[in-house]
Structure 1
């Protein structure tokens, strides 16, 4: 098996440079779905990443009624209670990008939103966290995912950590970690998706692209919420990429490398690795992205 080449995507960031006349419509409308009771923080972190990485609109479809209200500390986020008619809500919202999974849970409402997202046509879709668990446990969701990729190839990315990858492949995390390259290729084969297998030296592969490996990253990233902000980052970059000549593969690669590079930059400043927070990484990603424009 050919070893993966090193991921080198940050030079693509120059494509995101904005013309003076650009408006929020050019930066894209991102719809984020999740935040079930007790897990709202996951979706809020995802939204914060999308906002700080440049999405024109960031809408949080929150499944937790107690958390579905405006947040004064982050008033730019559009937070609303997830509708019980997911399909109609998606049609009305007309998002440019959908990301689903952070704090989603496994309720009937979560299932309805995953079904609606998988059936929503044409736009890039980022699938993470609990949405991956639902796909692993329910063959009908895997079938819908494959059907989506047949009609809209290259428009869906999965971002599993080793445990979620093991669940999808019906094995255990130690097996995934023992041969991460085989694992990511098997996930691509199973789902027909772009796959970013998170962990030390994140791997990204797709049906059309051989695996690439991120050289950046550090153990300070081993904290809850770090994966959620990657989801928001990818969603924001691909939303802008629609008008800036970046596809979902390129945006996913940028997101992975920018995320890991920001964590390394903070550690170099003696912020971490122990105690490094996702919020700090979000702000460092914004700084790095703007320096690279």
Structure 2
């Protein structure tokens, strides 16, 4: 039986907070170049939410590779997002862009192009990789993709993080959502063993563990977070912190823990102000996350 998780409280660590601070001379390169991939036709909003979270949480560049041609254009309401159409040659596109961090999955879909971008992301060396949503389902359905993920983690330990909700976790483990929820701690360890990745098992009291880290549990959060798009915001937030962490000496484990706690704290803060839990939106949560992060610094 897995050991009981400890409480996640990374945002009260003086060392972590100090490493998040920026020197007066810093420029966008010091905050990292993030690429987020997804947004198939009909699902562009998921990727835009992830991109907005990445931008507002401090990445130096936020680049969106959108699979939907109709949505791959500048957003006048968020002109800072660098939105472009995902190219057919994903390997060449990533090599040309040279990202510091990659996130893939929000609204990705299951097309041949989606699979090509996932393969390219799994094969891109060294850069931290955040895998969510449809990218998780693609891996769950393909032994070759799972093998590629395992091989990546053998070559670059600690450089991949998966963020499944219970349904996605069940698909990865060939189980059911009810079984995942019945023993979340064991399910977490099974996911770590299967993927050799850092795992963020979302849900009430989100759990995090990895091959090199014991389980921690986020005690913050509320039912208002149970709405479409909240997971996309978390993905973008992890991406932003990971991008900054490349030059601020925060690894992917740190980034995941910071983002999970900040995400839940922001939702609780909004509820305390009378915003939710009913009707609490992911977009509101992004802004509150930014406020809380800057308050900490």
Give the TM-score normalised by the residue count of structure 2. 0.98
Distance in 1 (CA, whole Å) between partners of 2:65 and 2:22 is: 28
Q: Which residue of structure 2 aligns with residue 14 of structure 1? A: 18
Q: Which residue of structure 2 aligns with residue 5 of structure 1? A: 6
What are structure 2's unaligned runs of at least 5 residues?
none
Q: Which residue of structure 1 aligns with residue 226 of structure 2? A: 222
Distance in 2 (CA, whole Å) between partners of 1:227 and 1:123 is: 21
CA RMSD of aligned residues (A): 0.5
Q: Which residue of structure 1 aligns with residue 70 of structure 2? A: 66
Count of paired positions: 293
Distance in 1 (CA, whole Å) between partners of 2:32 and 2:17 is: 16
Spell out, residue by residue over 1:227-252, the C-alpha distance to the aligned partner (whole angstroms, 9 max, x if none).
00000000000110111111000110
**1:33-112 correspondence runs (5 A):** 33-112=37-116
Q: Which residue of structure 1 aligns with residue 125 of structure 2? A: 121
Q: Which residue of structure 1 aligns with residue 29 of structure 2? A: 25
Shift of 1:14: 3.0
Shift of 1:177: 0.5
Kindly indicate whether residue 250 of structure 2 is the aligned counterpart of residue 246 of structure 1: yes
Q: Which residue of structure 2 aligns with residue 156 of structure 1? A: 160
Candidates 265, 274, 291, aligned match of 2:278: 274
Q: Secondary structure at the match of 1:14?
A: helix
Spell out, residue by residue over 1:174-225, the C-alpha distance to the aligned partner (whole angstroms, 9 max, x if none).
1101100000100000000000000000000000111100000000000000
Moved over 6 A (4+): none
Q: Contact 1:13/1:254 (CA < 8 Å) preserved in 2?
A: no
Q: Contact 1:126/1:156 (CA < 8 Å) preserved in 2?
A: yes
Distance in 2 (CA, whole Å) between partners of 1:34 and 1:274 is: 28
Distance in 1 (CA, whole Å) between partners of 2:277 and 2:17 is: 26
Distance in 2 (CA, whole Å) between partners of 1:3 and 1:154 is: 22
Distance in 2 (CA, whole Å) between partners of 1:113 and 1:136 is: 16
Kindly indicate whether residue 261 of structure 2 is the aligned counterpart of residue 260 of structure 1: no
Spell out, residue by residue over 1:19-60, the C-alpha distance to the aligned partner (whole angstroms, 9 max, x if none).
000000000000000000000000000000000000000000
Distance in 2 (CA, whole Å) between partners of 1:84 and 1:244 is: 33
Give the TM-score normalised by the residue count of structure 1. 0.99
Q: Secondary structure at the match of 1:243?
A: helix
Spell out, residue by residue over 1:147-173, the C-alpha distance to the aligned partner (whole angstroms, 9 max, x if none).
000000000000000000000000110
Distance in 2 (CA, whole Å) between partners of 1:104 and 1:229 is: 15
